Amino acid sequence: MTRKRTIPSVGLPLMVALALAFFAFLPRGFAEAPPGGTNTRVVSDDAGQKLLVDGKETMVFGMNWDYMPIGENYNYSIWNQPDELIEAALAREMPLLRAMGVNAIRQYAGIPPRWVRHIYERYGIYTVVNPLVARYGYTLDGVWIPSVDYSDARLRAEVKADVVALVKEFRGTPGVLMWLLGNENNYGLSWTSFEIEALPEGERDAARARHLYSLLAEITSEIKRIDSDRPVAMANGDLQYIDIIAEECTDLDVFGVNCYRGISARDLFQVVREKMGIPVMFTEFGSDAYNAKEMSEDQEMQ
């Protein structure tokens, strides 16, 4: 049986993503990184909910950041390059992010703990570590599965073991702000099985979703057992399946959402507050960087 942490098999949309926005308070400037691991907690009081990072009320201004040279594609990883190249890239990019006011970046599983620590201690920028939970496929027993079946017991066990191993790898690493699970996995629920096909057509999507969110709930519990110093969030595609999420993911600390509603989030905060009672975090929010109709970068929309 083979365990393999996978990377997306399709290119993610290029986007400007001023995301990961927590509604709390941001201390002025960037304080020097304290020694030891990072302690992050979501707390509630009469004023509402807020994020405490090492005891300080913090508003997170985040960026879905990656580094991809011209001519490369989704198979490229900056973290597989020589240290000199990585250090040079970070030395160019991180000060630019800080100048924008960014204090956190979102990174898919694959970034080594030492670079999370480096980014934090050198530039004062936290990292939200994001295992994708088989969002773009998974390799099981040497076989690539492009559309995973979240009801499969063996696959669930393997995916969960991957995330547990990742959390243990990062245990005690300064700069890890929180754990983020998946990336709008609710938009990839397309597998078929005898169990699913036996259901009325109108019930099949919800049945698939329940298998997904029950797995996320199990992973959340495992993360909390290993790492009690950081909250756990998910990156859901808008509010789809919010009722199932509320039933299954009762240990979730933060509702992360990829939200493209236009100029207003409308009822998003109210719905999450009423159904789950936890804070909302924008895990994606922005404008496509590429205009497919004109086959060019879309600077005006950005």
pLDDT in tens, 61-110: 999 999 999 999 989 999 999 999 999 999 999 999 999 999 999 999 99
Instruction: Tell me whether residue 289 is exposed, middle or buried, using C-beta atoms within 10 angstroms of its C-beta: 0 to 12, 13 to 18, 19 or more.
Output: middle
Is residue 201 situated within a structural domain?
Answer: yes
Q: What is the mean pLDDT of residues 149-167?
A: 98
Q: What is the mean pLDDT of residues 168-194?
A: 95
pTM of the model: 0.86
- Look up residue 88 and give its two tokens: 């040079």
What pLDDT is stored for residue 262 in this prediction? 74
What pLDDT is stored for residue 287 in this prediction? 66
Instruction: Tell me whether residue 73 is exposed, middle or buried, using C-beta atoms within 10 angstroms of its C-beta: 0 to 12, 13 to 18, 19 or more.
Output: exposed
Tens-place pLDDT, residues 205-252: 999 999 999 999 999 999 999 999 999 999 999 999 999 999 999 999
Domain containing 276 equals 15-297
Q: What is the mean pLDDT of residues 163-188?
A: 97
- Give the CATH number, domain containing residue 148: 3.20.20
Is residue 1 situated within a structural domain?
Answer: no
Confidence of residue 129 (pLDDT cuts 50, 70, 90): very high
Total domain count for the chain?
A: 1
What pLDDT is stored for residue 243 in this prediction? 98
Is residue 8 situated within a structural domain?
Answer: no
Is residue 196 situated within a structural domain?
Answer: yes
Is residue 3 situated within a structural domain?
Answer: no
What pLDDT is stored for residue 215 in this prediction? 98
Sign of the dihedral through C-alpha 159, 160, 161, 164: positive
What pLDDT is stored for residue 4 in this prediction? 36
Is residue 302 situated within a structural domain?
Answer: no
Q: Give the CA radius of gyration of the chain.
A: 19
- Look up residue 78 and give its two tokens: 């900056």
- Mean pLDDT lowest among 3-17, 160-174, 234-248: 3-17
Tens-place pLDDT, residues 25-68: 333 344 444 445 799 999 999 888 999 999 999 999 999 999 99
What end-to-end distance do the CA atoms of the chain give, in Å?
45
Is residue 49 situated within a structural domain?
Answer: yes
Is residue 131 situated within a structural domain?
Answer: yes
Res 286 pLDDT > 80 = no
